[in-house]
Amino acid sequence: MTSAAHKPVLLDAVMGALSPSKGRSVVDGTFGAGGYSRAFLEAGADVIAIDRDPSAARFADPLAAAYPQTFHFAPGRFSDLQDHLAICGRTVCDGVALDLGVSSMQLDEAERGFSFMRDGPLDMRMGGDGRSAADLVNEDEPADLARIFWIYGEERASRRIAAFIARRRAEQPFTRTLDLAEVVEKAVGGRRGAPTHPATRVFQALRIAVNEELAELEAGLDAAERVLSEGGRLAVVTFHSLEDRIVKAFFTERAGRTPLGSRHLPQVQEGPAPSFSLLFNGARAPTDIEVFENPRARSAKLRAAERTAAPAWRVAA
Ligand SMILES: C[S@@+](CC[C@H](N)C(=O)[O-])C[C@H]1O[C@@H](n2cnc3c(N)ncnc32)[C@H](O)[C@@H]1O
């Protein structure tokens, strides 16, 4: 069952980019509630669906029952895409979709600790393993916390917030989301009439750090490059500029569009042959109607490219 409340972001655009059909194999690297997977299956494709959150299995079970021959759910990370394919007896596929970040369900469930609006344990681990947000906030040096808030949250008051956190945790460690949100609000001096909650950027930064999301994305793009067959397509939906910058740089480079010489270093440098060709220039954004129906789609961007016959640029370690 796909959650009724959940509307997959940019679904039509992703379908247009990947063209799933009978006989084609598509990896849904971010299964979530299965909105994309269901659409790929209905189009006749074979689907290998990956999610690092074990609770996504509850949405996979009904699809496995409805499509026993063509659907396979693989719990784990999309950076391990090659291993997931190998378990299914495959080395290549015809499409990869990545719809990044957290799902609406993860955000809405206070117990997961992603929300600064709902009180819950300060956790934020998508896969339930590794260090939690509370571990980072209570144990990391203030300078390291400030760096996380600055780099992953683009938070201008990063040092001040880290100092407030350090002072408070010396008296009492953080365990709850709303407790942290209140301290951040105090550090930045209230809501300042801003349209977003003052803790938005700190929570985004902690989530990215806890789940190593940007390293996962880079490894996932490299993995997709290795497993896509010639003519196979990669579609990536991002939700903030840090993610989009990585995807844009990857596609620009792999499509051979990075100027390798410059005014100061004019000699032409030969790069490897382009491993992707762009399906369209720039990024696709949701329509006004889609944003109206699904406000979470507001900041979404889709980039997509088709695999050429050239070898992958980076070989797996
Ligand atoms: C935005 S939701 C995807 C929604 C999905 N497209 C749908 O239609 O329901 C992102 C999902 O990707 C998962 N995820 C995020 N990073 C991941 C990673 N590196 N590997 C595997 N799953 C990941 C999250 O647990 C979450 O369930």
243 lines ligand 1 (CB under 6 A): no
Rounded distance from Cα 11 to ligand 1 centre (Å) = 14
Burial of 91-100, coded b for 16+ CB within 10 Å and e otherwise, reads eebbbbbbbb
Q: Ligand 1: does its nearest atom lie under 6 Å from the Cβ of 221?
A: no
Is residue 8 lining ligand 1, measured as CB closer than 6 Å? yes
Query: E strand or H helix at 233, and its extent?
Result: strand 228-238
Average pLDDT (171-177) is: 98
Strand partners, 71: 47
- Report the pLDDT value the prediction gives residue 47, as an integer from 0 to 100: 98
pLDDT, averaged across the chain: 93
Mutate to test the pocket of ligand 1, among 51, 104, 216, 246 (most ligand atoms within 8 A of CB): 51
Place 257 in a pLDDT band, splitting at 50, 70 and 90: confident
CA 188 to chain centre: 28
| Beta carbons within 8 Å of 116's beta carbon, 6+ residues apart | 177, 178, 180, 181, 184, 197, 199, 200, 203
Say what the pLDDT of residue 265 is. 60
pLDDT digits (tens, 9 = 90+) for 176-215: 999 999 999 999 986 656 678 899 999 999 999 999 999 9
Rounded to whole angstroms, the Cα distance separating 176 from 167 reads 17
Residue 239 has pLDDT above 50, yes or no: yes
Instruction: Give the pLDDT mean for 13-38.
Output: 98
Ligand 1: atom nearest CA of 53 is: 25
Q: Region 221-250: what's the mean pLDDT?
A: 98
For ligand 1, atom 4, which residue shows the shortest CA distance?
32
pTM above 0.85, yes or no: yes
Lowest mean pLDDT segment, chosen from 85-89, 161-165, 293-297: 293-297
State if residue 208 touches ligand 1 by the CB under 6 angstroms criterion.
Answer: no
Q: Is the CB of 34 under 6 A from ligand 1?
A: yes
Instruction: Show the tokens assigned to 15.
Output: 């379908």
What's residue 314's pLDDT?
A: 78
What distance in angstroms lies between residue 29's CA and the mean position of ligand 1's atoms?
A: 7
* Site to substitute for ligand 1 among 2, 18, 30, most atoms within 8 A of C-beta: 30
pLDDT at 42: 98
Q: Which residues of 246-284 are buried (b: 16+ CB within 10 A; e: fewer)?
A: bbbebbbbbbbeeeeeeeeeeeeeeeeebbbebbeeebb
Confidence at 4, pLDDT banded by 50, 70, 90 = very low
94 lines ligand 1 (CB under 6 A): no
Cβ–ligand 1 contact at 153 (below 6 Å): no
**107-140 pLDDT tens trace:** 999 999 999 999 999 999 999 999 999 999 999 9
Atom of ligand 1 nearest to the CA of 35: 8
Look at residue 102 and tell me whether its pLDDT is greater than 60.
Answer: yes
